Structure 1
Amino acid sequence: MQSISPSTPWWQHDFFKIALLDQASKGGMVYNITTSEQLFPNKTLVSSGKIFELGFFTPNGSANQYVGIWYKNFTPSKIVWVANRNLPLVYTDRSAKLNIGSDGNLKLVDGQKNIVWSTYASGRSNDTSAALLDSGNFVLQDANYSEIWGSFNDPTDTLLPSMKIGVNARTGEKKNLISWRSDSDPSPGSFLGGMTSETPPQFFIWNGSTPHRRSGHWDKLKFIGIQNMGQSYFSGINVQQDIQQGTTYFSWNFYTEDPFFVYMFVSPEGSGKFKYWDDGAKLWLTLWEGLNNTCKIYGTFGPFGVSNEEWNSGNWTRGCVRETELNCQKNTNISASTFIRKDAFWQVSQMKLPDSGDYLPDIGDQEGCLSWCLRNCSCLAYSYVSTIGCMVWIEDLLDLEKFSKFGEDLFFRVAHVETGGSPQKAVVISPITVAGIMIFKVSAFVPCRWRAKKTGTSDGSAKLKQEKAWKEQLKQDDSQELTLFSFDSILLATDKFSTTSKLGQGGFGSVCKGKLKDGKEVAVKRLSSTSAQGIEEFKNEIILLSKLQHRNLVKLMGYCIEGEEKILVYEYLSNKSLDTFLFDSRKKAELDWGKRFHIIQGIARGLLYLHQDSCHRIIHRDLKVSNILLDEKMNPKISDFGLARMFEGTQVLVNTHKIAGTLGYMSPEYAMGGIFSERSDVYSFGVLLLEIISGKKNTALYDQGQHLNLLSYAWQLWIEGKALDLMDEAIAVSSPLEVTRCIHVGLLCVQEHAADRPNMWNVVLMLNGETDLPQPGQPIFVLQAEMPKPFIPSQQESIWSVNAVTNTVVEGR
């Protein structure tokens, strides 16, 4: 019997896959249910485009049977709707059926002829039928195909594109998502997801009636309490609020020419998740997920944040209190004009605004918002959001969060202490203790500083211990086959890093040519103390390159760790990096088409090895022209693995808060959302491919500034049937069909959605003309009048490699 992991959703187990296949094979499929056509456990109802399927299913390890809807051709599948989640059938009941009763309603009847579930629709017709639409909506319709009832109006835990959930404040009607009780039990769970009717509205997940998670307020484009929501993947989200009718509805869609299969659901653990189907990986991947840490749970830190006294006990719900009473509260008999001089406001930026704010639609600017709050002593805080307007808080401030990027300015009311100084100075003297996570950072920082002083170790001793720890870790990570060079041997090999041996200089430090005692030439990369390549990247490159062997990857021969010195020793490649040829007006002619195509094929094979053929699956994350090195025969070798990530098993997609790479080569899902996968490397390869063909940089403007970048220019030429005009003028077009095919492959690689890009195995086949090429879609950020403003992380959370000018540095040898 198959063993089941409790952490794996039941629909991902082979048992469920086999059960669905078995049902379909035994009973076949039907395309509608009528008074004469009934649905039994050995049949399934299929949408016309064969996208969705409805039938009987049994969760793994359960004795219960349900009727549900799932994606038909995807394995693992996903149940998106359940009819009888409150009253399951017995698994052994093979006489159960879904039919249309004499009153025209859909009915699920068990073997004893008991009605287990029904639509109970009013205004029914005696001439009805039921069909499953390609949208996933299961509808009961009359003879004119007008909908009488639809499953979209009776959601379970999943929201599909074009569905709506929301609230009618006048009637009290609510359409919420309700989680499953567990991954193997579709009965209603504890968590509900839905909209509030306030203005501006918010999306909540409730645990019963208690708020559990909160999106923040809707600003007509996004929920301002969700970081990174400005990225393109959320552009299809829509909130419609009709104040007069009292309705607020949430829906979303992705407007793409090609099918993009995606859904949102509330998990049994109370997290909201977006999933999409990656056709290349054949998996449901997470597009976005509400974080599960304690700080994200509603009201964890109580009013105004958290008190220091209760931090260690874990009881944070009582929150914080003022150390200094507001002046307007002490002077209740003094005129309001006096209060304006006595109280002040403390500005905190990059905040998730608190819950339970009051919206003041008649106030049109920040000054008016401040003035209103000063005149009202009950006003504890205010914020003016340009896309919303003035919001004020007169109750305890709950569910605050300090973001690392984005967020809004929140102004807290504090007592102005007469010190003769500025209001800002007075604010610091008697603040409201805000945002428990901020207190946590302070309280965590001080003990660390104290412990460091108490340790009392000398700098020399600490460095020796650190050096020893690094070396031990590298040994444990199977990098012992590399040579551990002494610093003296490096000095000897490079003539003490003389200027004559220098090959290049970059943000990481310098690269010098060296010669070992045995006469072998090497390239020595010496990281500076201020290197953009940090300790983790340094160790990462050693560990990864020690495990990789391929003719199109640079070979790492050894390393040196002594004191402040961090040095990598690579094989020496006489022709340096590809950009020294490609972007040099004099040298680019040395790269004829035959050599360029040879380089393109070599890079593709190297990436294929990283993604699929090596013992570890590697995502490079910084593929660019300057990281392609050339040997004496112009064979390309991929270098610089400091940002690469290694994966094992089936993991194919990761979401990171630390964006790393090079502007112009980053895929849109990575640059704007931190989501990276093998298809992120494919995107970078596509940019690189078009640069090699054209001899131009992606980041430059083209055709008198009409195009944002090379991708825009290449796409315009493609749709005009002038693809060969992209070819570098420095060389002759010796093989027009081969060049056109390479441009075609490049455009396929830079498509906006990762699922639309080919994997590297298909890229290699396409380049060699061994497979047909589908038509490419328009790349993102093309043909726009203004330069877009994509998400750019803060320096504290990013590692950027700027490629704005010609780079003649030999990196990562």
Structure 2
Amino acid sequence: MRRQSLKDGDVIFSEGKRFAFGFFSVGTSKLRYVGIWYAQVSEQTVVWVANRDHPVNDTSGHIKFSSRGNLCVYATVNGTEPVWSTDVVDTISEPALVAKLSDSGNLVLLDPLTGKSFWESFNHPTNTFLPFMKFGYTRQDGLDRFMTSWRSPDDPGFGNFTYRIDRRGFPQMMMYKGPSIWWRSGSWTGQRWSGVPEMTNKFIFNVSFVNNPDEVSIIYGVLSPSVITRMVLNETGILQRFTWNGRDKKWIGFWSAPEEKCDNYNHCGLNGYCDPTSPDKFECTCLPGYEPKKPQDWSLRDASGGCKRRDVASVCNGKEGFAKLKRVKVPNTSAVSVDMNITLKECEKRCLRNCSCVAYASAYHEIEDGEKGCLTWHGDMLDTRTYLTSGQDFYLRVDKSELARWNGNGSSGKRKLVFILISFIVVVMLLMIILFCFIRRRRQSSRQRKPLSTFASSSFDLEDSFILDNLEDKSRNRELPLFELSTIAAATNNFSFRNKLGAGGFGPVYKGVLPNGMEIAVKRLSTNSGQGMEEFKNEVKLISKLQHRNLVRILGCCVELEEKMLIYEYLPNTSLDYFIFREEHRAELDWPKRMGIIRGIARGMLYLHQDSRLRIIHRDLKASNVLLDNDMTPKIADFGLARIFGANQIEGSTNRVVGTYGYMSPEYAMDGQFSIKSDVYSFGILILEIITGNKNSTIYEESSNLVGHIWAQWEKAEARGIVDTLMDAETYDVSEVMKCVHIGLLCVQESASDRPDMSSVVFMLGHNAIDLPSPKHPAFTVGRKRSVTNGGSSCNWPSGETGSSFNDVTLTNVEGR
């Protein structure tokens, strides 16, 4: 583009026609913007916008050079004041600049004779970071290249989130929401940002990081020109990396951040650190030598108050040492002291000589020469976290007694014990795998096996894999199809963000389509989920041996490299909570459908408790764990927390209470006692939620929750008023609905012995004329009784007092989901 103007509708292409430049609109808006987009991608994808906050109202806009050589956007043909300009410094006597769009997506203003560049769009990014774009700042002229989110998907104006290299201390990437830090990438390790473990693929990307007296910047390139990729900071504060799938003609997301609790900036407060694999299931812990400032908040899983020194006087007495944390994203490096010319050993000595030094680490720990440089912290530390397989060593100054605790009976000692146990387990599992392969090869050589699935690469025997010798009836053991990782990756578009259905304690869930057109749901074990591995083994162990029309059906699993996935049938109507807790969908559920769902869940629970060859306690029955198929048939899902009971066993106990607040029975929540009756309690909550369309956590004027509200109406004989008003009254018989309310109240009675079992519930639901016993006061409501007895355990209130709600009870070792 030389001196001619460019009107709305004209488009300039890069030399290889990879990118286009011109006017465009976003979504349904008629406002016109000037920018750059992919020309080779069928779905218009804008990568740069000029007039972000100053759109043109109609198609009268023009792009042309001003008399001073600036490229300008005007709202009209004869406009004199541009809505946007390149602001080139006016040093050209006779402007003769040209605008050129490169195949990398960079719009450049240059002198065609000398080739000198005067302005380029790569120096002014919007919300997209492209390959070969320089990101960072130069120290002399102050030019800072950073990303800013759009205001909304339909408005490319400046949004709330920015992403840039921090100018203070040791370089790191920071994402801000307004003035506040939202997420931190961690410092540069020599190969990647320490908080981005996934940034290791040298077969696709080539990363170059510069930190010298002139500039701090990073550039990433793609090794193959056929790869079309981009990184986007979206309007909700999520950084996402996409590649274009030419076959399916859509973008596939393969990385995003922040993604989990420990990614949130300063999640565990001052001097705390976040460990997603913490054995006590609370991810926050104080750094060695520190203790919670507000212990009462930490007991409620609120670590925002942070930690303080346990004994300040003993920090610099000549008797202290350093506790080592492994696989750490080191704390915020904005205020660290940096010396790139000393070794890590010299760094330790320097820190020890300075009483204000609280910790140290190497600057670069992933370089060919080993480790380089010294970082020292002075004062409070922020935003530390651990990883399973990445991160670096971090050394904290502690006194002698704390060091002994850390290396002996403290956290480090526990970690050493855990490491030893894990190593032992790994060795045992390797031996098991070798034995399994040997046995399987013998079997294959002795007889021809018929494949169980068109797309399953092989099968594995559950008892060989997980040594389920405690399961009865081994002779009936079934084989579970084992899918190849490549098959599942292709089915989910490489685990695309757009295919993601949700996430739970196990990890994310994706929708997929197999080559034969079958739709599947893929539960992918999160690499940071300590609970997830337990859930994985538990679900394979249980649900593969259970078959019922009201239980979700497992199709197979994938165990390859570091990946562990469960493959289920895909149910298009998602989960029950999607319908009953959203006004726009509740109206779709008339009473026959709701009654069918209640009966189906009841039959599924009866099968688990009584009719299957394994007695199963689900322990996490709730609306989001009930899936619905095309016919709205309910299917109970998520058996990661389930427990197997013996044939004559009726209850069990645990020190680690897991489940969901609002659905837990009182004896389980407070005493760790669980039984089939604790599942009955959860089922009762579910019945009442289905009838009312409200969550149990809803607070009412006369009660702290839904159950209390229903009980108050029941006692006043006004229970008809609780029925969901969005349900057409002509579709239901009031007596049948009230019978279900009655059954729900029987299920949520405070004493487990008063609750019916599921066989009684199914009988009551299936018979129209039946005399039901009067329900007693439900649990966790206003006016609850002073004692709860279940199988010999009790919970007594002080004389003359009554509890008012679930929140008045102190719970320990509880894992909410």
Structure 1 length-normalised TM:
0.50
> Greater relative contact order: 1 or 2 (C-alpha under 8 angstroms, separation 6 or more)?
1
Structure 2 length-normalised TM:
0.50
